[in-house]
Structure 1
Amino acid sequence: MDPAVMEEIAKKMESFEATMGHIEGVPLLGSTCDAWDSIYNFQARGDDILIATYPKAGTTWMQEIVDLILQEGDAQKGRRAPTYIKVPFIDMVPPKPMPSGVELAQTMKSPRVLKTHLPINLLPPSFWEKNVKVVYFARNAKDCMVSYYYFQKINKVLPDPGTWENYFSAFLSGHVPWGIWFDHVIGWWKAMDKHQILFIFYEDMIEDPMREIRKVMKFLGKDLSDGVLENIKYHTSFQAMKENPMTNFSQHPNMDQTISLFIRKGEWAYSLVST
């Protein structure tokens, strides 16, 4: 993105205050609610690939894995743009002049890789009408909660999370953007019998990345060599993504990483005791 545009957005974010609203009882960002008609009426394409997650479930990790599978492991092509540009977040409406996820997706050629945090009951119906393949990445609630808390502290588009004690209660009751973790995960899980949905678990990816990357590859109809998969594994490792300016959000004007890093490990056991 043009540096002048980034600077303009950064200045706007200095006085920006996030608001909340509700769609069918699900808490969402106010800007998402305001643009709901354009989001819900989004037109999917048959060759789209949708990555669906609850916030802080490892979304950026899966976005990079899927993108590199489509690029056949070519890391240079993977660095063609920041993750948030090459994989539009369809339910996000940031302050102008930054384009919304819908606007960005509409400018892209097929095949597109898209991202959503929406619970399944709010997903635009065109995704089902076009029988789009969905990769759902699930992470245990404790790690999601810790990562989400710190993410809300650094992301100026999201409401301030307040104290850890208050946030703990808010998360459990679903009074956070995109609602209750359990409802989100179980809703997508139950839909696997009716739609093309691949469920991948964060903890399984940590345990054996090659095995899980291979599952994603097969689901996407690709056939890559072990050498290519090893390359994808390397370039999507925690350390590689932390150092990669295209994945670590270091250039994103909405992030204040002086508070906490965007890419961090969900150390829930430590945080529950010390925060």
Structure 2
Amino acid sequence: MPQNTPRRQLYLGPLTDNRRWDHVDLRPDDVIVVTPPKCGTTWMQTIVALLLSGDPEVETQLSVKMPWVDNRMRAISDVAGRLAAMQNRRSLKSHTPLDGLPLGEGGQYLCVFRHPLDAHFSFRNHAQNAPMPVFKMWYPEDDSTGQAFRWFLEGGPEGFDTDLMPLAHILRHYRAAKAVAERPNVTLFHYRDMQRDLAGTFDAVAALLGVSHPAPVMADLVAAAQFDNMQQNAERYSPSGGTGFFKSDAAFFHSGTSGKWHGKLTEAELAGYDAMMAAELSPEDRLWLENGAQPDD
């Protein structure tokens, strides 16, 4: 490790190990999509795949062509070898906060965030759809005691809790990204802004990647990335789509909506969330993390 490289934070969970990045030789034009889970990862990966190909019918094959490097379900030698053999411009995925990733001068790091409560309820659905026994402890199907939300508030940002998406891990992601957001190769996006102006998101990402397409092509690419199209073609767009990994590929795109937590939490649960957010973030940071850059309609 070069002397001027800060020591990276260790994130070692039941599913992920950020030390795997040490086996990947990053290229100056790599695109790394960095998010907490269920915050728009697949959506941003799809936008990148569409822009790099210029083809609205591109077979994204995210798990193979744009791999989740942290995930130790696949041997890192296989993942690194496949990446090294790629001749095209590469895109990679990570659920590790930026303080745990190799952050050089090259490449583009696209960091996507979402209202933490929306991300939490989306992860609840994801936990029931994914064949991961580790999720069942935190996210039981019958949660009459409110266990999932209690652990959402009490879980830590690293260690075993890393892959179970507690609020502390989301906040670590946000602070780590904001700490380096002045770098020209780090950009923060918000799920709500993507919902409000998907075409504008395409324009912003295209500018960062240095790619351009004629207006009719861009319109077709934007249409391909609309939520309804991705849900209706879930076997194409979901990670590992068509392989039977998920109980339902379509359920991976459960709703794509915001505010799904309204009416589902008790006053005490909301108070606990508000207290933690107030303690951890400035009012300005909280406003952005919950709502994005644009005001709500």
With structure 1 as the length reference, what TM-score do the two structures score?
A: 0.77
The number of residues matched between the two structures is 240
- CA distance in structure 2 between the partners assigned to 1:228 and 1:43 by the alignment: 33
Structure 1 residues 26 and 166, CA gap change in structure 2 (3 angstroms):
farther
After superposition, the C-alpha distances for 1:209-257 in whole angstroms (9 at most, x for unaligned) are 1111111111111222322221111101111111222113542343122
Q: Which of 146, 159, 176 is the equivalent residue of 2:135?
A: 159
Q: Is the 8 A contact 1:47 1:110 kept in 2?
A: no
Contact 1:91-1:101 at 8 Å conserved across structures: no
- Who is 1:247 aligned against? 237
Specify every segment of 5 or more residues in structure 2 that has no aligned partner in the other structure, as ranges. Answer: 1-7, 267-297
Q: Counterparts of 2:24 and 2:85 in 1: how far apart (Å)? A: 13
8 Å contact from structure 2 (residues 20, 70) kept in 1 = no
Q: Which of 71, 87, 99 is the aligned partner of 1:92?
A: 71
Amino acid at match of 1:263: F
Letter in 2 for 1:89: W
1:134 is matched with which residue? 109
CA distance in 1, matches of 2:150, 2:99: 24
Q: Is the 8 A contact 2:9 2:99 kept in 1?
A: no
Contact (CA 8 Å) 2:125, 2:254: kept in 1 or not?
Answer: no
1:209 to 182, 192, 198: 198
Q: Secondary structure at the match of 1:246?
A: helix
Q: Which residue is 2:96 aligned to? A: 118
Q: Does 1:220 align with 2:209?
A: yes
Q: Percent identity?
A: 21
Residue matched to 1:67: 49
Q: SS in structure 2 opposite 1:177?
A: helix
Q: 1:269 to 1:252 in 2, by over 3 A?
A: farther
1:13 match = none
Instruction: State the distance in 2 between where 1:257 and 1:272 align.
Output: 27
Supply the distance in 1 between the matched residues of 2:265 and 2:78 (Cα, whole angstroms).
35
Contact 1:55 1:117 in 2 (8 A): yes
- Aligned counterpart for 1:262 among listed residues 216, 238, 252: 252
Q: Tell me the residue number matched to 2:176.
A: 187
Deviations 1:46-79 (A, max 9, x none): 111111111000111111111111112x123x12
Gap runs ≥5 in structure 1: 1-22
Q: Distance in 2 between matches of 1:199 and 1:24?
A: 20
Contact 2:21 2:70 in 1 (8 A): yes
Q: Take 1:146 and 1:95, find their aligned partners in 2: how far apart are those partners?
A: 27
**TM-score of the aligned structures, taking structure 2 as reference length:** 0.72
Q: What secondary structure sits across from 1:172 in the alignment?
A: helix
- Provide the secondary structure at the position in 1 that maps to 2:220: helix
Moved more, 204-213 or 263-272: 263-272
